[in-house]
Structure formats: C-alpha cells, structure tokens
Amino acid sequence: PCRPFHGYNRLLTSQIISYYESIHQYKKELPEYFNFASDVLDEWSQLEKDGRKAANPAFWWVNEEGEEVKWSFEELGFLSRKAANVLSEACGLQRGDRVIAVLPRVPEWWLLNVACMRTGIVLIPGTSQLTAKDIFYRLQASKAKCIVTSDTLAPAVESVLPECQFLKSKLIVGKGSRDGWLNLKELL
C-alpha cells in the first residue's frame, strides 16, 4: 500500500517497472523524414484553423518594458514561412547551409529557429556577448554563409568581414538600416 505524501501517492517499484515495460512494448512508426515546423507546428495551426483547438499562444514574449509579442500557432507558422523565404530567397541559402544568429532573445531569434527547421538550414546560435574575435572564429570554423545580428553588434561583424571568405549575406534585426545589410523586419 502507498502512503500519501503531500497529496501525491508514491509509486511502488513494481508499478514503475510495469509502466516502463508498457512504454517499451508500444511500437510507433517513425517517419522517414521529420520536420518539427511542418509536422508539429503546421499540424497544430491546422487544428486552430479548423476550430478543433482553441487559439492559444504558441509564442509569448515580454521584455523588461512590458512590451508583448504573442503569436498563435497559425501566426508563428505564417511568420516562420516568411522568414524561411527570406533565408532562401533574399540570402540565397539552401538546405545544409549554416547561419549564425548573434542576437539577444528577441522574437526574431525564435522565428529564425523555426524558419531554419522548416528549410533544413543549420542554425548556429551565439550570445550577444560575443566579441569580434569570437564572431570571427565562429564564422571561420562553421563556414557560415549568413549572419543575423542586431544593429549594436553589426560593427563587430563588420570589423572581421574582410577575412571571412564564406559569408555571403548579412541580416540585421532592428529598426535602422546599414549599408550592405538586409533588414529582416523589412523583408518580413
């Protein structure tokens, strides 16, 4: 017999083992190709469209000033497809190409994650605390063809550009513009 502990029943070892065995007996067919963006996100988006699932936020971001960005699954799917098009068309990236994102945790960071999953582009995240030397090392080691960063980190990237032979496109996340850079918000 189990004794209640703070309202929860403790499981006996035999119960845990039988539960573990039941999990291993379940055979699920694994898909040959799995893409989180299309197989999960788009599926949940369709459930929202069909009214079979309430429109709950798939993404909810709040900054220090209290500004909010809230996207449903449908909105996240739509925006991630647009971001995927930016990466594929405007930046000329293909499946397997690498993109480095040196951004604070802003909504665009998450959007790029899903867009890269959707397209098969490899995302290499970097903290916004990287120095020019750190950015240069990551660009060279990864052979990234694209970098996405904020307007405050763009000068650090520009300082190492002459030595980066693989980098083909540069995206900036911000309100301003910069010579030689594509603006992600404008392209979206």
- Tens digit of pLDDT for each residue in 54-110? 878 999 999 999 999 999 999 999 999 999 999 999 999 999 999 999 999 899 999
| Domains of the chain and any CATH numbers | 59-186 (3.40.50.980)
- Return the percentage of the chain with pLDDT > 90, whole number: 65
At 164-184, the pLDDT tens digits run 889 999 999 988 788 999 999
Beta bridge partners of 71: 59
This prediction has a pTM of: 0.80
3-state secondary structure of 39: helix
Strands 57-62 and 68-72: antiparallel
DSSP assignment of 84-125 equals: HHIIIIIS---TT-EEEEE--S-HHHHHHHHHHHHHTPEEEE
Strands 169-173 and 68-72: unpaired
Beta bridge partners of 59: 71
